[in-house]
Chains A and B, each alone.
Chain A
């Protein structure tokens, strides 16, 4: 089986022979249809006919048709054949085909065909017989791509993009915040981190580049001209790119596994392997039919492909028809066919929780001892709207087995949104339902508990329209923003929508979700949970008149976040820690440790007071930078922790011990900072004063105002004398110094 670009030929029956034709080095005219076949049994003349017929048959069987007349067998003086034969094909194409299919194929137990082009024989014959040892390229150790995690102070990094400059910052204690790297014109469009922070992607006219390591060396590049959108797979193995321009392969374009070939022409989505930089496969984009204006304008629903969180599968939906799942690394269609689902609108993969990851790793390493539990199969959920007599439906399906695990019928559905809890424990289907008259919309939350037997479903009914929903990471709580504002959906400029924010929590005992509390009459439209749970920020984003940030703690009374099921009153632990305001905020993002929050106002949205601010989880402002032409703020993501559950527990237990050391460090730090600042200021003042002194000396010879200019000539002479004196003094001073 021949492989091209790592894709097997069987894949959808595509014929790749024309690529091979393209890659072939141009030969001397006229001999292209001649092949020299070695490894043929040595015979005498009597067996010639039989042999030629056999070889011809053998070749024809593989589709390389050759008639016996076109086979020439040269004989030596001793009457024996020379062990090689010539073949003349009708066209060079056939010769190439024969070469690729028959080279190395066994003829009988002792003989294998070894085929060369006739035009190449001379080249091989004239080769220098002296073996020259190829030079080994010296191994250059690559920088560690995760070096930033080893920062002794445990700082996080973030990237900012302002004007044409991209900067990577360290963020830690005030004294340790510094720019780690900066580079003007690093990107043409924007920058993006890979999901575990290993790579920084920059977008250019020519394609995507990945950078990494402490000195930001180029790591990889993907030649997708005019690329607009990119999407990493969760384990950073693959990259999907999209350009609004269909792929064109111009004459004389670079060829190779890393570049587009003529087959890819007209497609606009490409999937790449990050480590090798090879192109895996390209796809046409599916024209956008429904969706909101922004999506239509963009011309693609992004991400177009959704990855399962172990990177094994990537899937996309053709709305109304099917879900196509492709298997990595070959990018072949799973089971060679898409899953046909009439009416399907959207789907989501179930994320793998830490537990699943551990199980997968254990299964991989083949840990000895205890009977391993088979890791949970990948799972996806999709929904279909009402079709004829069939009600709307949400379906959970296991992949690759395609078993339907659970199906639930829904009625009066106008739209559904699918939200997985990040550990893959729960699934919330937000169902926008209309009343019989279709006049008003209300909302049901259908919550599937997928770790439990038979996938029990709870329904939370809400009277209002839900505008945002968010699970607590690693938690059993969620927050919803709902609104009954009549202006919702057609708010004029400057109008602010009134919203309510509600928190719900799973009641373990009763097995359903119960309202913790509702914060009424807000303007918040965005929920941002801390990546470690417990803390949540409610923000009013994208409004011209309101820009409030509220910092909430959901376990305020609970010192130890390990146990959540204390006897305390339901919802009593919810406490507002602080509130703040960042005028014109467009983006709100927690750092990966959940200690800091960054808010930014990007010039992509508006041009008022662009810049960013960093807050602690209590809502204290730590830094604020007003920077015009500020575009992007991105925390660098961190990979999953390597510590086991037990280790984490041990650390939490000894937190007091550790924190003492840190407190001491902070105290010394503080003293150092102010000392440093004073020294810095002193240096600045000294520099300035020295410069001023120099200016004054240089100026002293210059005639002053008009009054001075008309002064007596004698006096001027005196002045000159004084000036010389001064110069001598200066020289002495310098020597002493």
Chain B
């Protein structure tokens, strides 16, 4: 079932030295990658709601935005003075929120690249996320120098030009125990979903800062990524413990487990098809030989329901740090330690093939 039977995936290639990437002339495979935009490893990539734009952040302190149909860079948001760890875009593609190692979180105007507001914290911002109605953002800060890892929720004032934001968070709490590494809004507006360094996954009441629900042993190692299904009823996590898991948001019960043999950095749920995408790879420092073989720098596709691997896509020269799937499910992108973003369009066979026969699977 591996690889060969899996629908071929279009790979977009391009010259890293060019600002623009181009479509392959033969038409069937479009295009690009190796966006010159970043000089250091990628930390997170996100599609906007329409899927026409892809935002990427990197250790080179830049936020870039790209056209997804051809890979052309639309612009850069310049202003952070440290690794930009995280990014999120609202549903209108009006506001962009970013968190960085320079201890700030910034709100940007998507269209102009203008920085609208900056919040300052004692430590780096590791993860930001908009709420479902875009009226709030949640962020988690790093645990460092006596400061505990803290989760803050801010109201976003959507009136006016967006520069009039409140400096103080509406809610603020610090989870006791293992620090939170990833954070998002859960199924209810005031509930916050976190993934922790210890492998714990928990739901918090933002108002009281109480832990509403938790699964201490969701993973055995650091939770590296957490992406929700659009209706927020379930989510996927990836972990350094080499597994990715699907969880029920309400009960935090583990629904599915996808075990691999390499530490994972990111996992995403593909719309349309019953697949999940996971990526990772042995870090350069722990690879003893130079062989790519041990790296496992491939995006793996697993069947969401049957927990079986269905295919792999190669391409990166280093671990994959972040994966995002187009909201329509027609393409996906991966960002690697190698500084490249690779954008792949699924071809027809991906949608037509039925490796498991005729089964109707709800999204």
Tell me whether B134 and A494 are in contact (CB under 8 A).
no
Write the chain A residue with the least CB distance to B286. A607
Q: Mark A687-723, 1 if CB is under 8 A from B, else 0.
A: 0110111011011001101100100000000000000
Tell me whether B294 and A688 are in contact (CB under 8 A).
no
A678 at the A/B interface (Cβ < 8 Å)?
Answer: yes
Give min CB distance, B104 to chain A, whole Å: 26
Tell me whether A699 and B231 are in contact (CB under 8 A).
yes
- The interface residues of chain B lying within 8 Å CB-to-CB of A678 are 357
Write the chain B residue with the least CB distance to A611. B261
Given the complex of chains A and B, what is the CA–CA distance between A702 and B360 in angstroms? 26
A628 at the A/B interface (Cβ < 8 Å)?
Answer: yes
Tell me whether B135 and A706 are in contact (CB under 8 A).
yes
Given the complex of chains A and B, what is the CA–CA distance between A627 and B260 in angstroms? 8
- The interface residues of chain A lying within 8 Å CB-to-CB of B255 are 691
We find that the number of chain A residues with CB closer than 8 angstroms to chain B is: 31
A682 at the A/B interface (Cβ < 8 Å)?
Answer: yes
Given the complex of chains A and B, what is the CA–CA distance between A691 and B255 in angstroms? 10
- The interface residues of chain A lying within 8 Å CB-to-CB of B248 are 691
- B261 CB contact (under 8 Å) in A609, A699, A703, A705: A609
Tell me whether B132 and A705 are in contact (CB under 8 A).
yes
Known: A678-B357, A689-B361. A684 touches B231 (CB 8 A): no
Q: Mark B168-205, 1 if CB is under 8 A from A, else 0.
A: 00000000000000000001100000000000000000
A583 at the A/B interface (Cβ < 8 Å)?
Answer: yes
Tell me whether B261 and A685 are in contact (CB under 8 A).
no
Known: A695-B231, A695-B233, A705-B91. A688 touches B361 (CB 8 A): yes
Tell me whether B132 and A688 are in contact (CB under 8 A).
no
- The interface residues of chain A lying within 8 Å CB-to-CB of B261 are 609-611, 626-628
Residue in A611, A693, A702 with the greatest tally of chain B CB atoms within 10 Å: A702
- The interface residues of chain B lying within 8 Å CB-to-CB of A628 are 242, 261
Give min CB distance, B189 to chain A, whole Å: 9
Given the complex of chains A and B, what is the CA–CA distance between A702 and B185 in angstroms? 14
- B133 CB contact (under 8 Å) in A494, A682, A691, A706: A706
A544 at the A/B interface (Cβ < 8 Å)?
Answer: yes
Known: A626-B261, A696-B231, A706-B135. A685 touches B360 (CB 8 A): yes
B234 at the A/B interface (Cβ < 8 Å)?
Answer: yes
Known: A608-B294, A628-B242, A689-B362. A684 touches B233 (CB 8 A): no
A681 at the A/B interface (Cβ < 8 Å)?
Answer: yes
We find that the number of chain B residues with CB closer than 8 angstroms to chain A is: 28
Given the complex of chains A and B, what is the CA–CA distance between A705 and B356 in angstroms? 35
Tell me whether A494 and B231 are in contact (CB under 8 A).
no
Given the complex of chains A and B, what is the CA–CA distance between A611 and B242 in angstroms? 14
Tell me whether A699 and B360 are in contact (CB under 8 A).
no
- A693 CB contact (under 8 Å) in B91, B356, B362: B362
Tell me whether A681 and B359 are in contact (CB under 8 A).
yes
Q: Mark A575-587, 1 if CB is under 8 A from B, else 0.
A: 0000000010000
Give min CB distance, B303 to chain A, whole Å: 9
- B289 CB contact (under 8 Å) in A494, A684, A706: A494
B350 at the A/B interface (Cβ < 8 Å)?
Answer: no
Q: Mark B132-176, 1 if CB is under 8 A from A, else 0.
A: 111100000000000000000000000000000000000000000
Write the chain A residue with the least CB distance to B249. A695
Write the chain A residue with the least CB distance to B158. A706
Write the chain A residue with the least CB distance to B188. A702
- B134 CB contact (under 8 Å) in A609, A684, A706: A706
Write the chain A residue with the least CB distance to B231. A699
**Residues 594-613 of A contacting B (Cβ, < 8 Å):** 606, 608-611
Q: Mark B92-134, 1 if CB is under 8 A from A, else 0.
A: 0000000000000000000000000000000000000000111
**Residues 339-363 of B contacting A (Cβ, < 8 Å):** 356-357, 359-363
**Residues 237-289 of B contacting A (Cβ, < 8 Å):** 242, 248, 255, 260-261, 288-289
Given the complex of chains A and B, what is the CA–CA distance between A678 and B355 in angstroms? 12
B293 at the A/B interface (Cβ < 8 Å)?
Answer: yes
A-B contact sample (6 more), CB < 8 A, given A609-B261, A685-B361: A678-B357, A681-B306, A685-B360, A689-B360, A691-B248, A692-B363
Give me the 10 closest cross-chain CB pairs, A-B, nearest first: A692-B362, A695-B233, A626-B261, A706-B133, A689-B362, A685-B359, A688-B305, A684-B305, A608-B294, A706-B134
Query: Would you list 13 pairs from A and B whose C-beta atoms are within 8 A, ordered by A residue?
Result: A494-B289, A678-B357, A681-B356, A682-B359, A685-B305, A685-B361, A689-B362, A696-B231, A696-B233, A702-B188, A705-B91, A705-B134, A709-B133
Q: Which residues of A contact B (CB under 8 A)?
A: 494, 544-545, 583, 606, 608-611, 626-628, 678, 681-682, 684-685, 688-689, 691-693, 695-696, 698-699, 702-703, 705-706, 709
